[in-house]
Amino acid sequence: MPEVTSYQPGTPCWIDLMVPDQQAALDFYSGLFGWEAEVGPPEAGGYAICTLKGKPVAGAMSAQSMSGEGPPPTVWTTYFCSADAQATSEAISRAGGTVLLPVMDVMDLGRMVVAADPLGAVFGVWQPLGFSGAGLVNEPGTLIWNELNTTDREAASAFYAEALGLESTPMEGAEGYFALSVDGRTVGGLQPLREGMPPEVPPHWLVYFAVEDADRAAAKVSAEGGTVLRPPYDMIAGRMSLVKDPQGAPFALIAPKPMS
């Protein structure tokens, strides 16, 4: 079901974008995916909740430099559902991860943590209170997949199993690719960083958006000032393309094969 009202702990439940020019990003993604979005209220720090068909699908915020540090990277962040953000934060530390943003309350909506795994891939944790996360997924214009690209598959698998309860198993029909699952249900993927990738590309979580036509969507990204990093190609799950938005945030587009 594309509509979602709750998530099992360990499941990706939300994504958001940190970007230098928030309004430009909202305009770009609204044009690409048909989202409705506007800068949020001051009490929320301007955080924007992007919606499709009246359901929340993603967030976007202006990048804020920390004192004495440069601006943060322009990236999409994957958040995993947690029943207890504090307990998950402690599990992350025990498993060798680094807590970058300690547990904090987000009004009456939930509690969040931002952390990095031992290989450096950054992710978030969300304990829902008044807000469960994405209310619409797996259909055009919404989140459909979250994928970890890492330099050490075994170390990453061990970390996410201990910290978030994610099990890693080889994915049938996709050599070198691993499914991440919660209680037997696949919720994401894991693969080694591709050979030939620039050395400056660190381990990272990649967000996939569903589209009806990957070629048309990639062409639109390019026409609107973004970059097509890998032109559309056919793969086991459908036809996909790897792109960057005009401000440099990478993401993937996929026109999924019909479910059998």
**What pLDDT was estimated at residue 173?**
84
> pTM value?
0.95
Residue-level pLDDT at 68: 60
Q: What is the pLDDT of residues 215-245, one digit of tens each?
A: 999 999 999 999 999 999 999 999 999 999 9
Residue range 65-85: mean pLDDT, rounded: 85
How many CA atoms are closer than 13 Å to the CA of 72, on its beta-carbon side? 17
What average pLDDT does the chain have? 93
Average pLDDT over residues 184-205: 85
Buried b (16+ CB within 10 A) or exposed e, 84-113: ebeebbebbeebebebeeebeebeebbbbb
- Alpha carbons 133 and 45: distance in angstroms, whole number: 18
Neighbours of 185 (CB within 10 A): 10
Mean pLDDT of 127-139: 97
- Quick one: pLDDT at residue 195? 59
* Residue pLDDT, tens place only, 116-129: 999 999 999 999 99
User: Is residue 196 scored above 60 in pLDDT?
Assistant: no
Is the pLDDT at 188 greater than 90, yes or no? yes
Beta bridge partners of 207: 146
CB 213 within 8 A of CB 238: no
Question: What is the tens place of the pLDDT at every residue in 28-63?
Answer: 999 999 999 999 999 889 999 999 999 999 999 998
